[in-house]
Amino acid sequence: QQQVKQSPQSLIVQKGGISIINCAYENTAFDYFPWYQQFPGKGPALLIAIRPDVSEKKEGRFTISFNKSAKQFSLHIMDSQPGDSATYFCAASALLTERFSGGYNKLIFGAGTRLAVHP
Amino acid sequence: KAGVTQTPRYLIKTRGQQVTLSCSPISGHRSVSWYQQTPGQGLQFLFEYFSETQRNKGNFPGRFSGRQFSNSRSEMNVSTLELGDSALYLCASSMGPSPTEAFFGQGTRLTVV
């Protein structure tokens, strides 16, 4: 129930195309869904995040679509560029209030998608 | 504003030894989380500290431990190293305490031989 399932494992897109990565979760307590981008030799970098009270969030060429009833969310990269070639991770976090009113910072990550954008 | 700093960047240790990794969070951030990244298991949560208290721990053996200091800097320790502990260890800092933007350091690449 703590898993986040991510697909596809790898993705090849032509320059200018749309890259779409999907994630699904089971735990309805999850209430924060970030996407991270990781280049080789670097730590993951926060790209964009969404909370379940909205169905879509857009920042530049990156859009998160969120379907609460289906427990799915996806990342769309518009006008994909070779510089977008990286590994993308979705993640989810739950506000746990058993002991602390503020909750915990524990991210459950998907397995990652290796994106290659060809020129 | 300086980012998350992890030291050292690379480490080579022998089986049975112990290792200590350090993380300095972004100034003003009070939550520090640690993750292990391997090709086979992906990114897995180790533990999280907020105001010097461990609030949550992942499914790792007791050989993995950590602590946080009053200045929010954190260390993690792995004792009796095994070959399977070879991984990239990542530290993330957040303003805290609720799930918010988490910023990762570049990680410490640990190789156990």
C-alpha span between B35 and B52 (Å, rounded): 18
CA-based nearest residue in chain B for residue A31: B99
Hey, are the CB atoms on B43 and A42 less than 8 Å from each other? no
C-alpha span between A15 and A64 (Å, rounded): 20
pLDDT tens-digit profile of B41-69? 999 999 999 889 998 888 999 999 999 99
Is there a contact between A1 and A26 (Cβ–Cβ < 8 Å)?
yes
Q: Which residues of A92-119 are buried (b: 16+ CB within 10 A; e: fewer)?
A: bbbebeeeeebbbbbbbbbbbbebebee
Of B25 and A32, the structure prediction assigns the larger pLDDT to B25
- Residue B50 touches chain A, beta carbons under 8 Å: yes
Angstroms from B1 CA to nearest CA on chain A: 16
* A and B: number of Cβ contacts within 8 A: 83
Is there a contact between A47 and B93 (Cβ–Cβ < 8 Å)?
no
Local structure of A41: helix, strand or coil: coil
Pairing status of strand A45-50 against strand B53-57: unpaired
Q: Over 80: is that where the pLDDT of B97 sits?
A: no
Average pLDDT, chain B: 93
| Angstrom distances, CA of residue A42 to CA of A90, B6, B20 | 17, 12, 20
Name the percent of chain B in helix, strand, coil, to the closest 5: 5, 55, 45
Cis preceding linkage at A82, omega within 30: no
From A67-76, A89-98, B8-17, B30-39, the region with the lowest mean pLDDT: A89-98
- Residue B25 touches chain A, beta carbons under 8 Å: no
Hey, are the CB atoms on A41 and B106 less than 8 Å from each other? yes
**Which tokens go with B51?**
């105001």
What pLDDT does residue A16 have?
Answer: 97
pLDDT tens-digit profile of A82-118? 999 999 999 998 765 544 444 567 889 999 999 999 9
- Residue A109 touches chain B, beta carbons under 8 Å: yes
Q: Over 60: is that where the pLDDT of B96 sits?
A: yes
pLDDT tens-digit profile of A2-19? 789 999 999 999 999 999
pLDDT tens-digit profile of A48-62? 999 888 999 999 999
**Which tokens go with A27?**
């735990």
Nearest Cβ partner for B97 among A31, A32, A102:
A102
**Which tokens go with A93?**
């976090």
Q: Which helix (H) or strand (E) holds B17?
A: none
Percent of chain A's residues with pLDDT above 90: 76
Q: What is the DSSP letter of B99?
A: S
Hey, are the CB atoms on A105 and B102 less than 8 Å from each other? yes
pLDDT tens-digit profile of B67-91? 999 999 999 999 999 999 999 999 9
Angstroms from B74 CA to nearest CA on chain A: 15
